[in-house]
Structure 1
Amino acid sequence: MEAAINHGLIQIDDHSQIKSITNVSGGDINQAFQVITDKRTYFIKGNHGVSSDFFRKEVQGLTLMRETNTVGVPEVFYYDQPTDHEDGVLIMEWVEGVNSPQTLSHLGRDLAHMHLHTSEHYGFHEDTYVGTLTQPNDLYSNWLTYYREKRLVTQFTYAIERGRMPKQRREHMEKLLDRLEKWIEPHPRASLLHGDLWSGNWLAGPDGKGYLIDPSISYGDHAFELAFTELFGGFSTSFYDAYQEVFPLPANYEDVKPLYQLYYLLIHLNIFGETYGGSVDQIVNRYGS
């Protein structure tokens, strides 16, 4: 990995001495490092066991969010393509700051402003990744159809292939999919969504500003994004209050929230196994029995 880091730094004309390379937390997929040179401090991810476009698609998502001039997003300096045998790297600015009492309320407000940036279509023009799974995409004129076919059905199919859909769970899931129009609106605003927004994918930067990292970008119902932020905690009441001052959630949000959380629970079921089966069952039993 050190050779790949050196190569990447040369590509951005940082020929200065490397003072330190320190392993840091970077998720389950990539190796991650704080790299300090005489010129500056970097956050560098590395991997050789992922698709060649893995870092390109992450950079694409970061760029789209950054271009809204709303939320904090790390600056990207360089990325290359991993292969089966050679490491690829993604080089970004090192973001460090203080999590002030106002950080989460500001992040809520900034996220709402990002969600006000919209598209004419739902989904995305190319496939992305969510964790280690490929997330098939396409552009749709109907959010209900996109969410059913490209999100829920995709993960449902993965679960069947992995043997994680016992008979009753599968039957309830099929009924839920047939009834989805009772709760999901077909034409909400097509907001720019981070797509994987849990507490591990934001951090406090300079002056306490919130920064978003590791996107799985798409366009869709902003309630879908907010539902995931509630699934595993990590966001304060002030975050949601500030968000709703800018972009209120729909009146039926509490009814639709479990259906949006179901997508992420299916992902966790597919990646981590039956630990998440009970949570999936609670939702499919409620909406599909």
Structure 2
Amino acid sequence: MQQLQEPLPELGELLGGRWQLQALGASAFCDTWEARQGRDLLFLKSAAEAGADMLRAEADGLRALAATRTVRVPTVHAVLERPGGGVILALEWLQFVRPDAEFGFRFGQALAALHAQAPPLRPPGFGWTRDNYIGATPQRNTPRHPPTAAGWIAFFGQARLRAMRERLRHAASDLRLAIDAVIDALPQLLAEGPPPRAALVHGDLWQGNWGMLADGTPVIFDPAVSCSDAQAELAMMELFGSPPRGFREAYARAGGTWPDLRRTQLYQLYHLLNHAVLFGGSYVQQALRTARALA
């Protein structure tokens, strides 16, 4: 690992002292660091101005999830606007361990408690206070829609499916036509089963975005929050893997309802389209097959 001798001056100005940094790695839009000062330890993400809003949105989502006091997230210590442009996001350092046999039960209970809370938007509705990001793709959360079945159909159709269609304008026309057909069919696709229920959701809850602390506490991170149908969260958890053992049972015991196959496929389509935007290739065909099966 690269060892940097000079601390970032912004850290000292805001947090006090001199922080020694060790580079941990980089993604497409940010670098990550371990910051140490005596016994204090922070996890940092730094981005140039082009990626700065992604870190601001991440901090907003983590603070919203933390405010529910239902599920553990890394504490946001600071969002530092760098004088030369860009942002440093300073987070609580959390050490994860391999999940134990009971992890899924605790995780299911925690997520059910999150989804059971009244949505924090005022007035209530579907959407969020700002647009944010799903992976590296801008995620539209505005304008908001009322917390009704019609409101969810409008929000999911416009802010989720049609927003992705716009980003796939250079894709083959058959995919774009299939997306249009799904949007038109949303009232029928959502007519069966429980009515959509607005809840604060993590929004990108695949298995790479959860972990367990040494005391057994489940933690979620890297959110793409919104007030959405809680079942959309569960569908995402089954797209690139599956929830840990015991999760579904604990979630159901706590009053949560799992989506049926058709609704699962519908909500997964949004994420497949996002992967088609980001990576193309086989995700385009997978999204096309799913959209055609739905419509």
TM-score between the two structures when normalised by the length of structure 2? 0.87
Using the TM superposition, give the Cα deviation of residue 244 of structure 1 relative to its aligned residue in structure 2, in angstroms. Answer: 1.6
Structure 2: how far apart are the matches of 1:197 and 1:30? 20
Aligned to 2:255: 247
C-alpha contact (below 8 Å) 2:8/2:19 kept by paired residues: no
Change (3 A) 1:224 1:101: same
The reply on whether 1:46 has 2:46 as its aligned counterpart is yes
CA contact (8 A) 2:112 2:254 kept: yes
Number of residue pairs matched by the alignment: 280
Q: 2: CA distance between counterparts of 1:229 and 1:27? A: 22
Task: Return 28-37 or 214-223, whichever deviates more.
Answer: 28-37
Q: Percent identity of the aligned residues?
A: 26
What pairs up with 1:224-243 in 2 under 5 angstroms? Answer: 224-243=232-251
1:5 touches 1:89 (CA, 8 Å); kept in 2? no
Aligned to 2:140: 136
Give the partner amino acid of 2:206: W
Q: Which range is displaced more, 209-218 or 258-267?
A: 209-218
* Alignment map for 1:93-104 (pairs within 5 Å): 93-98=92-97, 99-104=99-104
* 2:201 pairs with 1:205: no
Once the 2 structures are TM-superposed, how far is the Cα of residue 87 of structure 1 from its aligned partner?
4.3
Give CA deviations for 1:22-64 in whole Å, capped at 9, x if unaligned: 415x654321122222131111111105354332221111111
Residue type of the alignment partner of 2:211 = L
- Over the aligned positions, Cα root-mean-square deviation in angstroms equals 2.3
Q: Look up the equivalent residue of 1:21 and give its one-letter code.
A: Q
Counterpart in 2 of 1:71? 71
Shift of 1:10: 3.5
Q: Any idea what the Cα deviations from partners look like across 1:68-96, whole Å, max 9, x if unmatched?
A: 1111111111112368x644211111111
Name the residue aligned to 1:125.
Answer: 129
SS of the aligned residue for 1:71 comes to: coil
- The match for 2:167 is 158
**CA contact 1:55–1:81 (8 Å) conserved in 2:** no
The 1:80–1:54 alpha-carbon spacing in structure 2 relative to 1, beyond 3 Å, is farther
CA contact (8 A) 1:71 1:211 kept: yes
Q: Which amino acid aligns with 1:172?
A: A
Match of 1:61 in 2: 61
- TM-score, with structure 1 as normaliser: 0.88
Query: Matched residues in 1 for 2:102 and 2:8: separation?
Result: 36
Q: Indicate if the aligned counterparts of 2:10 and 2:82 stay in contact, CA closer than 8 A.
A: no
Q: Unpaired segments of 5 or more residues in structure 2?
A: none
